């Protein structure tokens, strides 16, 4: 769960690498490092902390000059956070330098073998083991040494290597961790995602698993680890540089919260046909008959995407009347799941690279399931490894705490549910009514965003409290889970989300005088039940922050704080009710002085198990 960037061309490598690291810093930020080859050999610098610390160190060193280099920003897996454990790593004999994302599972046995061969390790990382292994196998051909080494390792990797003895060559490879090659005019940029490439070129190839790329200034060659030639597919990056700039916002998270209306309109554009009362999903048209005949749907995801998938479970059962299960991908992959004929598995992931979700998807496909993907990143691994799918189209999400991707995932799962429902039980009139309501959701989110200052003031009154509860029922139980997760992720306040009715079966013991309890209490078919749950909290001294429907003034009699949101159909309400919860989390983090976009211990794309 780190960021790789590498460059070879006519320009100076260091500024290009630093720029790329800054764009990738959201992927990991406990340490960073950079290596450049020049006429004198390998120049390497590493530092603990943010990329800015590495910049300062390079400035003190006088900078590195050279037109080929590799760089890395780390999120620790093997070994603590230290300069010694930071990437790049090098072998101790052949002058090979390596950056690596992923986990080498058999590193311990490889390390023992290499120590017996006389190699001496300076770090605790699995990456140094891989660098030494390549060095051990090197015989004048870096590409061949990388291929041979990768045939000996198990686990996940995205790597870029360079060698002092071959100063005009980069060799890259991937398995289970993303890596792209940007193709410019006489220059090439390798990176973990497009954000580090688009400033230089919009032409790129996404390496597939077990692919190796040998890149020189004259061109590139792609093959497998067994040295079989591969013909890559060059794609156009659908990313505007302006989309990944901060603009006038203080943080990417706030920018992305405020982008949600526009992002949602983009998600729905061309997919909702009000006149015909149907949803048009080009990515699913070829499988429409199989989906109609499906006997069971399994949604699998992790983190925020799991909460969206839980809402999808409610939607598919409610609208399409089809049995549905929602599974933690990390648990699903290690169980013995029952995949019967007619089972459809839907993998939900913003990045399309989430390791656990990808592994669950492969397990389901191996057992005969029809596989669909709901992802944001075009060309990602899940998008390529599924039978069909639907893109979110919400634009790049840089903030580690997901916001607009969650709303996009819920919107796409809503449209998939309606796509199936219309072909199964839903009448054209009912479908048209729901489509019309869905088209109004972006405007309703804008009205919630206008309450930003009010939400900040509410948050300020409770920000010093270290324990919060988030409660909801029905469609908004997963929304409550998402609200609690957001608060935990970026403010480091302990928070729990749960069904409102579950509270009295044990968690009610946690409530003490003044404890903030956030209720999603919008008007819906369980509104009266939620009011009863609020009374249970009040009687025990808890302070209620209610997310209520506009016009509901009666709720002020039972809640200390009320944040009104526009009225919306129950099945569409999570896309609206989650927005004040996102803003509460954001303001709590800012008020507590935390780095909103780079919360401790977290990385954006979890590409390791």
For the annotated catalytic residues, the residue numbers are: 2, 604
Q: CA 475 → CA 21, 48, 238, 471, 479, distances in Å?
A: 39, 43, 33, 11, 7
CA–CA gap between residue 329 and residue 311 (Å, rounded) = 16
SS3 36: strand
Strands 543-549 and 561-565, bridge-based pairing:
parallel
Closest CA to 169 of 28, 68, 271: 68
Strands 494-499 and 324-328, bridge-based pairing:
unpaired
Phi and psi (nearest 5°) for 208?
A: -90, 170
Closest CA to 507 of 519, 516, 497, 492: 497
CA–CA gap between residue 577 and residue 410 (Å, rounded) = 12
SS3 300: strand
DSSP 27: G
Tokens of residue 182, six digits: 């940007």
DSSP string of 251-311? SHHHHHHHTHHHHHHHHHTTTEETTTTEE--TTTGGGHHHHHT-SEEEEEE-HHHHHHHHH
Distance of CA 39 to the CA centre of its chain: 40
Q: Which residues, in sequence order, are bridge partners of residue 300?
A: 327, 347
- Taking the CA atoms of residue 552, residue 557, residue 559 and residue 562 in that order, the dihedral angle to the nearest 10 degrees is 30
Residue 601: Cβ-neighbour burial (10 angstroms; 0-12, 13-18, 19+): exposed
Residue 49: Cβ-neighbour burial (10 angstroms; 0-12, 13-18, 19+): middle
> Is residue 408 within 8 Å of residue 393, measured between CB atoms?
yes
Q: Which residues, in sequence order, are bridge partners of residue 91?
A: none
CA–CA gap between residue 264 and residue 555 (Å, rounded) = 30
Strands 343-349 and 203-206, bridge-based pairing:
unpaired
């Amino acid at each position: 769960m780190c960021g790789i960037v590498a460059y070879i061309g006519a320009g100076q490598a260091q500024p290009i690498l630093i720029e790329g690291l800054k764009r990738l810093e959201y992927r990991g930020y406990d340490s960073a490092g950079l290596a450049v080859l020049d006429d004198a050999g390998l120049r390497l610098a590493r530092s603990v902390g943010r990329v800015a610390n590495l910049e300062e160190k390079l400035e003190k060193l006088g900078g590195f000059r050279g037109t080929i280099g590799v760089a890395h920003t780390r999120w620790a897996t093997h070994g603590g956070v230290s300069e010694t454990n930071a990437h790049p790593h090098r072998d101790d004999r052949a002058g090979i330098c390596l950056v690596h994302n992923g986990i080498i599972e058999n590193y311990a046995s490889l390390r023992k073998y290499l120590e017996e061969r006389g190699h001496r390790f300076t770090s605790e990382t699995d990456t140094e083991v891989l660098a030494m292994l390549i060095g051990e196998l090197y015989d004048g051909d870096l590409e061949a040494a990388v291929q041979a080494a990768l045939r000996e390792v198990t686990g996940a990797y995205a790597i870029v290597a360079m060698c002092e003895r071959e100063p005009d060559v980069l060799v890259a490879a991937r398995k289970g961790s993303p890596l792209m090659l940007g193709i410019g005019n006489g220059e090439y940029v390798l990176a973990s995602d497009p954000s580090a490439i688009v400033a230089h070129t919009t032409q790129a190839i996404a390496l597939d698993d077990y692919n190796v790329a040998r890149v020189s200034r004259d061109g590139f060659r792609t093959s497998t680890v067994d040295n079989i030639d591969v013909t890559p597919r060059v794609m156009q990056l659908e990313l505007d540089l302006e989309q990944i700039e901060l603009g006038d916002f203080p943080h990417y998270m706030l920018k992305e919260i405020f982008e949600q209306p526009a992002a949602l309109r983009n998600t729905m554009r061309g997919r909702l046909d009000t006149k015909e009362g149907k949803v048009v999903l080009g990515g699913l048209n070829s499988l429409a008959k199989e989906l109609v005949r499906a006997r069971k749907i399994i949604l699998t995801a992790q983190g925020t995407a799991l909460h969206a998938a839980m809402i999808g479970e409610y939607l598919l059962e409610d609208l399409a009347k089809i049995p549905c299960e929602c599974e933690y991908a990390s648990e699903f992959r290690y169980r013995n799941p029952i995949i019967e004929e007619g089972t459809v598995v839907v993998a939900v992931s913003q990045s399309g690279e989430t390791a656990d979700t990808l592994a669950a998807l492969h397990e389901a496909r191996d057992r005969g399931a029809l596989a669909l993907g709901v992802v944001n990143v075009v060309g990602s691994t899940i998008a390529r490894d599924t039978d069909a799918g639907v893109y979110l189209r919400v634009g790049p999400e840089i903030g580690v705490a997901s916001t607009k991707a969650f709303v996009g995932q819920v919107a796409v799962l809503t449209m998939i549910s309606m796509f199936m429902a219309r072909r199964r039980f839903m009448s054209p009139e009912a479908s048209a009514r729901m489509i019309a309501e869905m088209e109004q959701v972006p405007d309703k989110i804008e009205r919630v965003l206008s309450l930003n200052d009010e939400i900040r003031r509410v948050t300020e009154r409770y920000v010093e409290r270290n324990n919060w509860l988030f409660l909801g029922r029905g469609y908004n139980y997963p929304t409550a889970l998402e609200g609690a997760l957001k608060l935990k992720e970026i403010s480091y306040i302990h928070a729990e989300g749960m069904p409102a009715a579950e509270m009295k079966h044990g968690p009610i013991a946690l409530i003490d005088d003044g404890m903030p309890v956030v209720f999603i209490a919008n008007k819906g078919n369980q509104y009266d039940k939620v009011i009863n749950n609020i009374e249970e909290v009040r009687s025990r001294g808890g302070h209620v922050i209610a997310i209520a429907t506009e016009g509901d003034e009666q709720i002020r009699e039972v809640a200390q704080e009320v944040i009104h949101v526009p009225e919306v159909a129950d099945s569409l309400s999570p896309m609206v009710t989650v927005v004040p919860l996102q803003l509460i989390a954001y303001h709590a983090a800012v008020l507590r002085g935390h780095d909103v976009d780079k919360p401790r211990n977290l990385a954006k794309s979890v590409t390791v198990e």
